[in-house]
Chains A and B, each alone.
Chain A
Amino acid sequence: MIEMKKKSINSHTILLLITIGLFILLYAAGYFMYGFGDNAKGFEKLQTFLDIFRTNAALICIACGMTCVMLTGGIDISVGSLVAMDCMILSVGMENNGTSPTLLVPFVLLIGIVFGAVQGYLIGYLNIQPFIVTMGGMFFARGMTAMICTDQVNITVQNWFKEVAGLKVYMPFELGAVVNKRGVKMVPYINVPVLIALLCVILVFLMLRYTRTGRSMYAVGGNQQSAALMGLNTKRTKMITYILSSFLCSIGGILYCMNTMCGTTTQALGLEMKAISSAVIGGTLLTGGVGNVFGSFIGVLINGTINSIVSFNADLTRLGGTVPNVVSAFLLFVFIMLQAIFAKIRERKQ
């Protein structure tokens, strides 16, 4: 029995190691293309690496929630719209109504919890398919965004929200500092959203590993009937999962708003797909029961690196629009194929 447990943990760790290995490979490829020798364009800088974190802070948070949902065998496609609604509430509240962010931030988090509770109740207790329920949530949140305001609202009011968003956290010991052309020393930095996102990853990781709720999520996703026979409350577990997802999504929405400082109806379109693909790249199965938050975190970094590499290619960015998506899709394809091949090799060995 103990041996079996060891073995299963090992096989999961290997999958995670493969993902990390592929990430290093991808980053190395980018380094040799745009950060090495004569054609160095800045990819070699530490700041480029940290920028991946900065631009994807919200996505890291959302991918954590998505991982939990996928662990229970469900899916949550409402996250992108919920982010848009959160941003709109924050920006309209601060800019047009002059409400203090001290009130708005807890309000947005509360909305996340209520939103998740309704979805979780429908999925867990009424047994409706998660895809349909969260699609309803997606339509609802996107429509509500338009109901609040149809124009773009930029946050120009000075308050602690804006100050926190603009705060730079420099690397300790001037790590990776470079002197630019004007002779000014540039120390690489991250910002507060990144720290919050990393904290979320650690907390969700610990929750999944060491708490009763977290372990129930794995059990429900692995086999719902067995979990129920074991005496777990599968309905409640599912509901909690969706509440957690929407709550993390609301945190993500606040971080997203800190990055963009505006609210529009078309904000965060397709963010749910990014979150899902990150989780899948990180080794989470859509069928449930298998996965790891740390893997999803690496998945977000991989997606970010792909975007970063694409943005360094002048030919692609000149075409603009959705054209760089072709490259992103191709890299995603290569990635999924590599994973499938590794999975097949492992299967054959066993």
Chain B
Amino acid sequence: MKKVLNWLKKISKKPLFLPLFSVFLVLIINVIYDAAQGNYALEFFRLELKEGALYGRIIDILNRGSEAAILAIGMTLVVSSSAGTDISVGSVMSLAGSLCCMILAGFGVTHVRELGDLQAPIFVGVIAGIAVAGLCGVFNGFLVAKMKIQPMVATLIFFTAGRAIGLLLTNNKMVYIHLDQFKVFGGKLWIFPTPTVIAAACILVMTLILKTTSLGMYVQSVGINPKASRIAGINSVAIILLCYVICGLFSGVAGIVATSRIYSADSNNIGLNLELDAILAVALGGNSLGGGRFNLAGSIIGAYTIQAITTTMYALGVAKAQAPVYKAIIVILIVVVQSPVIKAYFAKRRAQKATLAAAAGRG
């Protein structure tokens, strides 16, 4: 028994404990709800093969949470290096999707039904979309790193303009691409949903980069103290710029996925409020929004936690417009539990108990 308690104490001090704990809590709520409804208690975990694709609530969460997870990767780096947030990601997503569809369909065309009607190969459109998002990242990074403008203000420019430029590109209309070759990015690959595969690939690439190069250390060092890092020989301007470019590229990828899901460029709605989810994911993952140390795994788990909360709420029958109320309460509860003051309070109580026990032992 004591061993178990000790083990619990040990793991509760790990940085990933709270993000994982929140996921666990959401899962428990689901199981209890299913049991109370008289359903099969483990309904949540059930996986099915229907028409050659995997189905299940977990798959649904992993699928729907892909965009937020992809964005969270870039956002983690941005927050860590520049102690600020990139609020333009949602808008840039929409811009990337619009440009992609515009290149594929041609300017002013609203429907593409045949492969022959395409103005350019699909991969050209996809690469152009990701590239333009990267360019937005360069612009943001230049303003933040070189011109020393506060991140939130610098990214406010594309937050306002991204969607609007997308609308200009698509001539203020929805552009539909009714092609299976285009739908695949938001559809399924073998039996898995493609967005999940893309998100996994993005996470893998980033992890490999962080493991094999010293980028992660440089980013943290710049985030903790840019001046000291520069004196130590790190080019802080280049590092911050790179972080914004990476964030831009990932928002481009997320934009393509979101566009492909609905096989149309819907500038007004793609990525709406997703920047908030991405920032929230970073914070839920236990990262400080004040820059410095970061934990990529935490952010990604945070992103899926948010999606799990949303999916659970819909499963519980909460109306879409009212869902934010519950989301807010859950988020606040999670951050309150994570807050340093509460942690310190419990640590103090534990210490008090220990001294009391020691005194009793001696007496």
Give residues in A with beta carbon < 8 Å to B: 75, 122, 125-129, 131-133, 135-140, 142-144, 146-147, 150, 265, 273, 276-277, 280, 285-287, 319-326, 328-330, 332-333, 336-337, 340, 343
Contact = CB atoms under 8 A, between A and B. Distances in A.
A320 B279 CA distance: 31
B168 A337 contact: no
Contacts of B84: 286
Contacts of A337: 147
B293 to A, nearest CB: 15
B342 interface: yes
Given A122-B332, A146-B321, A322-B167, A131 B85 contact: yes
Interface string B96-115: 00000000000000000000
Interface hub of B161, B326, B327, B341 (most chain A Cβ within 10 A): B161
Nearest to A333: B157
Nearest to B344: A127
Q: How many residues of B sit at the interface, in one of the four size bands? A: 35 or more
Contacts of A144: 325
A85 to B, nearest CB: 11
Given A142-B324, A150-B321, A133 B157 contact: no
Contacts of A127: 339-341
B288 interface: yes
B327 A143 contact: yes
A126 B342 CA distance: 7
A147 B143 contact: no
Contacts of A330: 161
A322 B147 contact: no
B172 A135 contact: no
Contacts of A323: 164, 167-168, 172
B39 interface: no
Contact of A140 (B153, B158, B167, B328): B328
A124 B312 CA distance: 31
Contacts of B289: 129, 131-132
B268 A322 contact: yes
B158 A128 contact: no
B147 A133 contact: no
A122 to B, nearest CB: 7
B233 to A, nearest CB: 24
A132 B283 contact: yes
A126 to B, nearest CB: 5
B168 A340 contact: no
B182 interface: no
Contacts of B325: 139-140, 143-144, 147
Contacts, number: 136
19 contacts: A122-B339, A128-B335, A128-B336, A128-B339, A132-B280, A135-B276, A136-B329, A136-B335, A138-B276, A140-B328, A143-B321, A143-B324, A143-B328, A146-B319, A326-B164, A326-B168, A329-B161, A329-B164, A332-B156
Given A132-B289, A135-B276, A326 B340 contact: no
Interface hub of A126, A135, A142, A322 (most chain B Cβ within 10 A): A322
Contacts of A326: 161, 164-165, 168
Contacts of B124: none
Contact of B341 (A125, A142, A340): A125
B167 to A, nearest CB: 6
Contacts of B336: 122, 126, 128
Given A143-B323, A150-B321, A320-B172, A132 B156 contact: no
B322 interface: yes
Interface string B224-249: 00000000000000000000000000
B322 A147 contact: yes
A75 B122 CA distance: 42
Interface hub of B84, B156, B338 (most chain A Cβ within 10 A): B156
Given A321-B172, A336-B154, A340-B147, A129 B332 contact: no
Contacts of A285: 150
Given A128-B335, A136-B331, A286-B150, 20 more contacts: A122-B336, A125-B341, A126-B339, A129-B290, A132-B283, A136-B335, A137-B328, A139-B324, A139-B325, A146-B324, A276-B152, A280-B150, A286-B152, A287-B150, A319-B168, A321-B268, A322-B268, A326-B168, A328-B161, A336-B157
B159 interface: yes
Nearest to B318: A143
Contact of B160 (A126, A139, A143, A328): A328
Nearest to B83: A287
B345 to A, nearest CB: 10
B156 A277 contact: yes
B163 A322 contact: yes
Given A126-B339, A127-B340, A143-B328, A325 B160 contact: yes
B335 A133 contact: yes
B353 interface: no
B150 A132 contact: no
B148 interface: yes
B41 to A, nearest CB: 30
Given A135-B280, A150-B321, A325 B163 contact: yes
A142 B272 CA distance: 15
A104 B165 CA distance: 42
B153 A131 contact: no
B172 A139 contact: no
Q: Which 7 A-B pairs have the closest CB atoms?
A: A143-B325, A329-B161, A143-B324, A146-B321, A140-B328, A139-B328, A139-B324
Interface hub of B152, B154, B336 (most chain A Cβ within 10 A): B152
A131 B282 CA distance: 12
Interface string B114-144: 0000000000000000000000000000010
A255 to B, nearest CB: 24
Contacts of B153: 276-277, 280, 286, 336
